[in-house]
Chain A
């Protein structure tokens, strides 16, 4: 890679050992993908919680913190793996709680804002068209590239911290024009009336295209989708397909026309999604016998509008004794929802609301499943019914209002 004077100084160790190790790491990764240079970034979003990084990762952060290194760009943090509060049936190990608190302290030491959110693009920072960032959560990456026209690759683990610390990232993948053109066309001839429908669309398109560099171009979307709809679509595409970008003709900023989306090239495949395809996704999920089950609204964290909608749907109802209902959101939205009375409506119904976490990354989740004797996990999130399977839940995708009915009646429909 060709380095400028600042990057050479970083590599030489002029800015300290942690900066040196960070840029060395970035050069190794960038070289794998043939990056020729670095690109400066304006924002970073780091991913690190004790469930995924373990004691080894904790040691890396401790070293960074002790070095007194600071991030060179404004930096936020992704969702955590535990809720610091009540809910005994969702509790984390006390030893791990102390480690998670240490991580948050290290983030603060490095000048990272512990937003604990996977919806930073809705609540923290919205990069502009062409702006380079380094974000460490798949749902945030695909939203930034697709909906905002910003530029980022998946930056996992140390990569997200290294970018925050050096203020740059290797120029490969979605930082480059050549990777941002559409590769296949998806004609949408289906009604998409619920977030679960958008997640189902993401599964239909993402599952058979497990290729980071594939970019679907959606055509035929009849109305401009809500931010939350695109959030669920993106999260699902990223989950099933490891996709990092999509275009939507006439809606997303780099696809004002079909020709612009493909940058003049011909799609290598054309597929059509109909109502029957969406219906088949729902009918493909089968319940298993089980006395106790959980309904989860999470993955990604809920926006204020999603919380408002659920508060309306749960109002004056009660979660059934055989069911548990859980919502996760970030601290900012929780605070506003509390002020607006949505939290009171939800808690009156018996819904548990977790702050600053995402359900599928909860620490000791397999044990939590066993302790609660949960068999089926029902959700309106196309992403979470895929991501949580290592913990051996039987997952079922259902539309939002159906999820609420299931939670309140216990009837698995």
Chain B
């Protein structure tokens, strides 16, 4: 059994992986140690977790233009996330994702924060503007 969720906008290749679910806005500069790929902001909902090879589920953004370069930098260091699923985003996240070749989506038809937990598997299909959530 799997569940389908529609997204508003999407870009990049289809991809599947495990999710890391954030409960608050995200900035790679404010929240992430970009040397290790570990969320370092004190009190962040996934503090201490690595973003490496994860599909990040992020409700909103904070800041910031750092994402324009940061995702490519993470890719270069082999600690990049696999894809980005946003509730709301800003252009920098798209600019950064396009540069790094990351799949990125915005907007979801159901509240993913109440559906997903860390480690769940999701497939993103940008051409169909949808996510497929696999039950464990």
Contacts and interface: CB of A to CB of B under 8 A. Distances in A.
Interface residues of B, number: 41
A47 interface: yes
A301 to B, nearest CB: 15
Contacts of A387: 27, 29-30, 63-64
Interface string A344-386: 0000000000000000110000100000000000000000001
Interface stretch (B13-21, B49-57, B73-81, B115-123): B73-81
Contacts of A13: none
A242 B76 contact: no
B84 interface: no
Contacts of A29: 91, 94-95, 98
A390 B62 contact: no
Interface in B1-53: 9, 11, 25, 27, 29-34, 40-42
Contacts of B60: 210-211, 242
Contact of A25 (B89, B91, B98): B98
Interface centre among B32, B60, B88, B92 (most CB of A within 10 A): B92
B91 A155 contact: yes
A156 interface: yes
A136 interface: yes
Given A33-B9, A136-B65, A242-B62, A390 B88 contact: no
B91 A153 contact: yes
A68 B19 CA distance: 42
Given A57-B72, A155-B68, 4 more contacts: A47-B69, A156-B68, A210-B25, A210-B62
Q: Which 9 A-B pairs have the closest CB atoms?
A: A156-B68, A157-B68, A56-B76, A54-B73, A156-B92, A210-B60, A156-B65, A212-B90, A157-B69
13 contacts: A29-B98, A33-B9, A52-B73, A54-B73, A138-B64, A156-B91, A156-B96, A157-B68, A211-B60, A240-B62, A391-B40, A392-B41, A392-B42
Interface of B: 9, 11, 25, 27, 29-34, 40-42, 59-70, 72-73, 75-77, 88-92, 94-96, 98-99, 104
